[in-house]
Structure formats: structure tokens, C-alpha cells
Amino acid sequence: MAATPGNADFGKAINPDAELYLTLLENSDVGIVTIDQDKTIRFWNSWMEKASGHMTAHVLGKTMNDVFGDAMPSRLHSAIRDCLSLGMPAMISPSLNKSVLPLRPLPQFAEKFPQMQQSIRIQPVRISDGNLLCSITVRDVTLAVQRDQLLRRQAAELAELVTKTRRSEDRTRAILQNTIDAILVASEDGILEPLNARAQELCGPQGDPEIKNIIQFLLPDSGNNPPPKPPSDRLLTDLGTGVIEILACPANGHNIPLEVAISHFTAYGRYHYIITLRDISQRKRHELEIQNTMQELENSNAELEQFAYAASHDLQEPLRMVSSYTQLLARRYREKLDDTADEFIHYAVDGTQRMQRMIDDLLTLSRVGRHGKPFQPVALTGLFDAIEANLKRADSAPAGNIMRAPDLPVVVGDPSQLLQLFQNLVSNGLKYSDPAHAEVRISAREFESFWRISVSDNGIGIDPQYHASIFEIFKRLHGYGEYAGTGIGLALCKKIVERHGGNIHVESAPHEGSTFHVDLPKEHSVL
Ligand SMILES: Nc1ncnc2c1ncn2[C@@H]1O[C@H](COP(=O)(O)OP(=O)(O)O)[C@@H](O)[C@H]1O
Ligand SMILES: [Mg+2]
């Protein structure tokens, strides 16, 4: 390739082999400019032509300021001056200096970079005539700058990510530390690591020296090399239930019942267990309190029943005596004394008979809990047949019409107690009605978990304010003269229904009749 005429002239003047060197310089992939002592341009290669748009023929003999005008960076101007006068080299680069020569970037960078990013080297060159020239080498570093920018951006993003991760890690750690439960993690090989303060407390030197063994024993994978089974008093609940309760015995302090939850997760291709230990002291305390109260209640109930039974049983004997002697008096002296004496004797006989009934009823009531028979299927149709037969047989039974739904179910219970229950309700229904029109209806309705057996009458009804109290023992809404009775019937009904795990309640209003609903569960867990 032939050198431009201007450059060639300059070349030949320096060296006879100039043509070769010039061709090399011309085709170099960096910009090369040589400045003369008088600051005018002496050499300008074709790279510079392309990048600046200024042709060699036009720039030779001019100064850089002439060529670039206002766009000439002042730093380059002073560097050329210092190079020519003092022989000082210089470097102008995008990282050190903002302004560079107005050169065109390569098309692929044009969008992002309005100017080519350059690294300019200013070098003094002494030639054979002793003159000092200034050699300027311009390198296109746009690609490097672009890479640098990308790297910086990625570094910034990375830094942000690290900050964020650290922040979320801090948060996770804070949550872990402030959790009341102790949290530990175990790797596949069973090594336990406490994750928070509570876990440190329990498993650390002040904690329970045995606890790690116990936890390792509970881990599902402890199969191959199982740790020794802890003493049974350290495992509180049956392992088969899924809920595991253990007892921690810390070196310094009270024993703590703990509930253990074990879950697993995979991290970095390995299996890990998360173990949560929850202090259940308070729950255990409550459970114990409830148990104690239940026991006390059971004891006092049993005592009461015992007392009622003993009292009514022992009362029978003297009462029988009074009863037989007053009846004897009545038979022997009726109409032999005066009218008042007859009346007194009548009251005495009547009183003892009532007392006899009350004691019988009390005895029955006290036997509900103690002498109950095992539950069995009871067909209600047969049961009500028996009730009707009983009522017919008894001479003092109230009269009336008993109507039954055709589809009465088979329920589960104690047959003789169910008979007492429904006989009481039926005879109440007849008793508290107008004897001429008394009507009692029996029906059943199926619910998901229980049967509702209802006994309705068309009698005098009950004021809602007494709907609860009529089930109390001895509670009666009428005088004995009005309707005979001991006031124990509904209390007995309630006790029987409760023994069957059911409910009894009444729907009624004065003069509107009454309906007693008995709900009996279909399934019985405790018989
Ligand atoms: N079917 C009913 N209709 C109206 N009142 C009733 C009915 N059943 C019960 N009672 C009221 O409830 C009270 C308590 O009943 P109960 O315990 O059977 O005692 P008793 O029948 O011996 O009086 C009765 O005295 C009565 O006032
Ligand atoms: Mg009654």
C-alpha cells in the first residue's frame, strides 16, 4: 500500500527504509500522530483519518488545536507542550481523564458511546538531527470500558444482593433467637446443632446432659446405629401416637416436660432434620389440675351416692316401723276415737307412705351410677310396649292415650334405665294433663351422631323460667294435693341420660303442652 504523499515525504527524510516502516505505521490498528517541534502535525496515519474524519493531506502542517478547535482537550494540549519542551511522556486514559479527542466509535458501540473511549500515550522521540518530536498513540479502549462498566454494574448488583441476603439472614437469626421454642438441626449423620439461645440453654453445659441422646434416639433414621434407649421416665408419651413428650432434666433447675416435633428438609443434596422442643410445663400443670379436680369430683360424687344410698337404705327400717304401727293404729282405732283422731291417723299414714315413695325414688336415683348395666342395643318399640303394659298394670297410674310413631329406632343403652327414663316422661305427660283428654305422643328423629326421642303431651305446660330447674332433685311446681309425686322423676331422667352421654331438655309454655327431647348418641366411647 502506498503511503499518503505527505507522510511519505516525512518518512523518506528520516530513513531510507521509510516506505516499509510507513506502510506498517499506516496500517497499524492504533492511531499514530507525530507532532513537530513547532507543534504542527508531521504524521497522521489512516487509522486517525477514519476515526477523526480528518484527512492526512488536510491536517499536515496544522496544529492539533487547528484540527480539533474547541474540541481539543486541554490536557492533551499541555501534554504535547511539556513533551516538546521538557521531553516529558504522558498518559491520558478514560479512567484518569474525562475529556479525550472527538473520535468516532466503531459502529457496534455507537449506540452506547457517542465518542470512542481512548487511551492516549504521549511519548517524546528524539530524531537524528537532535530535534525532539512528540509521538501520540491513540488506542481504542471502548470495548474494555464497556466491559469495565458491565463488571462494575455486576459488582454493584452483587454487593446489593449480599447486603440483602445478610439482612434477611440477620432477620432469620433474630427470629430464631427470639423463638421461645428450642430449635436444633441434625444432619444425616445425626450430629445435632442448636440453632437458637433456648436450644443452647437446653443442650449446653448448663442444660440436660442426656437430651442430645434422647433426641438422637427419636430421630427416624437412628436405625442402623441406634443410640441407647433413654430411661422410660424421660419419655413421657407413647412413641406410637406421633406426639412425643420427653422430660428434660437440666443441670441447674427444675425438670421441664417438652414436646418434640421433628420435620425434615434437604439442603445441598443432603438430608437434615429440624427438631423443635416446646416447653409444655404450663399445659402439663393444667392437665394435672384438671385431673385432680376430676378425681375430687368423682370422689365427692361417689361419696354423695354412697351417702344417699346409705341414708335412704337405713331410713327404710325405722320408717317401716312407723308405717306399720300407724297403719295398725288406723285399722284398729278407726271410728273408735273421735273424728279429729281419725284425721290425724290418716295424715300420719299418708305421710309415711309418701316418705316411703321418696326413699324408694332416692334409692333408685343413687343406683343409676353405681348399679348401671352394660350398654346393649335396645329396640324402642319393645321398650314402649313394656312401658304401656306397666302403666296399665299399676292401679295408681294416670290414664290417657299413648301414640307412637311407627318407626322407632333401636338405640344403645342400659335397657332397664332407658325404661325408667321413658316411663317417667310418659307418666309425667299423662299426669300433668286433663285426664279426660290426656294424650302422649312418642316420636324419633335421626341426627348425624345421635337419635332424638321426643315425648310430647297436650297437658298444662311449663313456664319457660322453670325449664332448667324441674330437672333438679325434689323440684316440683305443684303441691302434693294437686298432683302426687316426689320431685325425683326428672332428676332421675337427667342422670340416666347423662350416664348415656346424652342430653335432655324441654320445650313448653303454659297450657300449650310439653315436649321432652332426649338425645342419645349413636356411638359410645366409654360404656
Ligand atoms: N309433662 C309435664 N307437664 C307439665 N309439667 C311437668 C311435666 N313433667 C314434669 N313437670 C313439672 O316438673 C316437676 C318435676 O317433675 P318430676 O321430677 O317428674 O317430679 P314429680 O312428677 O314427682 O313431681 C313436676 O312437679 C311438674 O311440676
Ligand atoms: Mg314425675
* CATH code for the domain of 491: 3.30.565.10
Residue 62 C-alpha cell reads as 496544522
Long-range contacts of 276-281 (CB under 8 A, 24+ apart): 276/181, 276/182, 276/183, 277/181, 277/182, 277/183, 277/184, 277/198, 277/199, 277/202, 277/248, 278/180, 278/181, 278/182, 279/180, 279/181, 280/245, 281/256, 281/257
Reduced to 3 states (helix: H, G, I; strand: E, B; else coil), residue 213 is helix
| pLDDT at site 2 | 45
Residue 459 Cβ inside 6 Å of ligand 1? The answer reads yes
**Ligand 1 centroid to 472 CA: how many Å?**
11
Span of 201-205, 277-281, 417-421 with lowest mean pLDDT: 201-205
* pLDDT confidence of residue 1: 44
From 255, 279, 303, give the residue that closes a domain: 279
Torsions phi, psi for 111 (to 5 deg)? -70, -45
State whether 234 and 202 are in the same domain. Answer: yes
Judge whether 13 lies within some domain: yes
Residue 228 is predicted with a pLDDT of 79
More confident residue, 59 or 312: 59
Among 239, 257, 279, where does a domain finish? Answer: 279
Is the beta carbon of 514 within 6 A of some atom in ligand 1? yes
pLDDT score recorded for residue 209 = 87
| For the chain, the helix, strand and coil percentages under 3-state DSSP, each to the nearest 5 | 45, 20, 30
Q: How confident is the model at residue 31 (pLDDT cuts 50, 70, 90)?
A: very high
Q: Is 331 in the pocket of ligand 1 (CB under 6 A)?
A: no
21 and 3 in contact (C-beta within 8 Å)? no
Q: Are residues 364 and 486 in the same domain?
A: no
Q: Whose CA is nearest to atom 12 of ligand 1?
A: 470
CB 193 within 8 A of CB 204: no
CATH for 112: 3.30.450.20
| Distance between start and end Cα atoms, the chain | 115
Phi, psi for residue 36 in degrees, rounded to 5: -80, 165
Assess contact for 461 and 433: CB atoms under 8 A.
no
What CA–CA distances, in Å, run from 1 to 22, 42, 49, 208, 229?
10, 20, 16, 91, 94
pLDDT digits (tens, 9 = 90+) for 200-257: 988 888 888 888 888 888 887 655 667 778 888 888 776 566 678 899 998 878 899 9
Query: Looking at the domain assignment, is residue 167 inside a domain?
Result: no
Mean pLDDT value across residues 280-297: 91
Cell triple for 339: 273424728
> Are residue 13 and residue 84 in the same domain, yes or no?
yes
- Say what angle helices 380-393 and 415-431 make with each other, to 10 degrees: 50
Mean pLDDT of 475-486: 86
Q: Beta strand 514-521 with 450-457: parallel, antiparallel or unpaired?
A: antiparallel
> Is residue 118 assigned to a domain?
yes
Pairing of strands 192-194, 31-35: unpaired
Task: Give the closest residue (by CA) to ligand 1 atom 13.
Answer: 476
Cβ(485) to ligand 1 under 6 A?
yes
- Residue 10 shares a structural domain with residue 117: yes
Q: Which of 476, 483, 493, 506 has most ligand 1 atoms within 8 Å of its beta carbon, as the pocket-test mutant?
A: 476
- In angstroms, the Cα distances linking 355 to 83, 109, 288, 457 are 138, 117, 43, 28
* 473 within ligand 1 shell (Cβ under 6 A): no
- Grid cell locating 348: 300420719
What would the pLDDT profile of 295-317 be if each residue is shown by its tens digit? 988 888 888 778 878 877 888 88
CA distance 314 to 235: 51
**Ligand 1 neighbourhood includes 427 CB (under 6 angstroms):** no
Q: Which of 311-315, 385-389, 419-423 has the lowest mean pLDDT?
A: 311-315
For residue 427, the ligand closest to its alpha carbon is: 2
Q: Give the residue with greater pLDDT, 22 vs 33.
A: 33
> In the Cβ-directed half-sphere of 517, how many Cα atoms lie within 13 Å?
14
pLDDT digits (tens, 9 = 90+) for 64-107: 999 999 999 989 999 999 999 999 999 988 766 666 899 999 99
Whether 161 maps to a domain, the answer reads no
pLDDT of 510 strictly over 90: yes
The answer to whether residues 351 and 396 belong to one domain is no
Does 290 lie in the same domain as 387? no
Q: Is residue 165 part of a domain?
A: no
**Is residue 266 domain-shared with residue 291, that is, in the same domain?**
no
The phi-psi region of residue 39 (left if phi > 0; otherwise alpha if psi is between -120 and 50; otherwise beta) is left
How far does the centroid of ligand 1 lie from the alpha carbon of residue 490, in Å? 7
Question: Does residue 413 sit in the same domain as residue 489?
Answer: yes
Is residue 468 pLDDT above 80, yes or no? yes
Q: Exposed (0-12), middle (13-18) or buried (19+): which is 504, by Cβ within 10 Å?
A: buried
Domain enclosing residue 320, as ranges: 282-371
3-state SS assignment for residue 428: helix
Indicate whether residue 470 lines ligand 1 (CB < 6 A).
yes
In this structure, which residue's CA is closest to atom 9 in ligand 1?
428
Of 80, 110, 140, the last residue of a domain is 140
Placement of cell 516525512 in the chain: 10
Query: Residue 119, SS3?
Result: strand
Cβ(474) – ligand 1 distance below 6 Å? no
Residue 103 within a domain:
yes
- Cα–Cα distance measured from residue 442 to residue 119, given in angstroms and rounded to the nearest whole number: 109
355 & 389 share domain: no
Same domain, 256 and 290: no
How many domains is the chain partitioned into structurally? 4
Rounded to 5°, angle at Cα 338 from 335 and 344? 90
Which backbone phi and psi does 308 adopt, to 5 degrees?
Answer: -60, -40
Band of pLDDT at residue 449, cut at 50, 70 and 90: very high
Q: Quick check: 4 pLDDT over 60?
A: no
Tell me the average pLDDT across 190-206.
88
CA 102 – CA 66 distance, rounded (Å): 14
Instruction: Kindly state the average pLDDT of the residues 18-40.
Output: 89
Residue 139 in contact with residue 30, Cβ under 8 Å? yes
Ligand 1 atom closest to the CA of 476, numbered from 1:
25
390 and 257 in one domain? no
Strands 118-126 and 182-187 come out as unpaired
Q: How far apart are CA 527 and CA 523, in angstroms?
A: 10
Interatomic CA distance for residues 341 and 354, integer angstroms: 20
Q: Which of 425, 455, 490, 514 to mutate to test the pocket of ligand 1 (most atoms within 8 A of CB)?
A: 490
Chain segment 92-103, per-residue pLDDT in tens: 887 666 668 999
> What percentage of the chain exceeds 90 in pLDDT?
49
* Same domain flag for 409 and 520: yes
For residue 418 and ligand 1, the question of a CB distance below 6 A is answered with no
Max Cα-Cα span within the chain: 180
Say how many Å lie between the CA of residue 474 and the centre of ligand 1.
10
The answer to whether residues 190 and 216 touch, using CB atoms and an 8 Å cutoff, is: yes
How confident is the prediction for the chain on average, in pLDDT?
Answer: 88
CA of 507 to the centre of ligand 1 (A): 13
Evaluate if residue 12 carries a pLDDT over 50.
yes
What are the C-alpha distances in Å from 241 to residues 91, 237, 283, 385, 499?
80, 8, 18, 47, 29
Is 172 within a domain? no
Q: In ligand 1, which atom is closest to the CA atom of 361? A: 22
DSSP-derived 3-state class of residue 110: coil
DSSP 241: G
Question: Is 493 inside any structural domain?
Answer: yes
Cell numbers linked to 250: 437440666
Q: In terms of residues, how long is the chain?
A: 527
Residue 513: pLDDT band with limits 50, 70, 90: very high
Contacts of 261 (CB under 8 A, 6+ apart): 275, 276, 278
Most ligand 1 atoms within 8 A of CB, residue of 396, 437, 470 to mutate? 470
Ligand 1 in reach of 490 Cβ (< 6 A): yes
Q: Does residue 429's CB lie within 6 angstroms of at least one atom of ligand 1?
A: yes
CA-closest residue to ligand 1 atom 18: 489
Q: Measured between alpha carbons, how far is 237 from 283 in angstroms, rounded to an integer?
A: 14
Q: Does the Cβ of 173 fall within 6 Å of ligand 1?
A: no
Residue 485 CA to ligand 2 center (angstroms) comes to 6
Q: Does an H or E element contain 92, and which?
A: strand 90-92
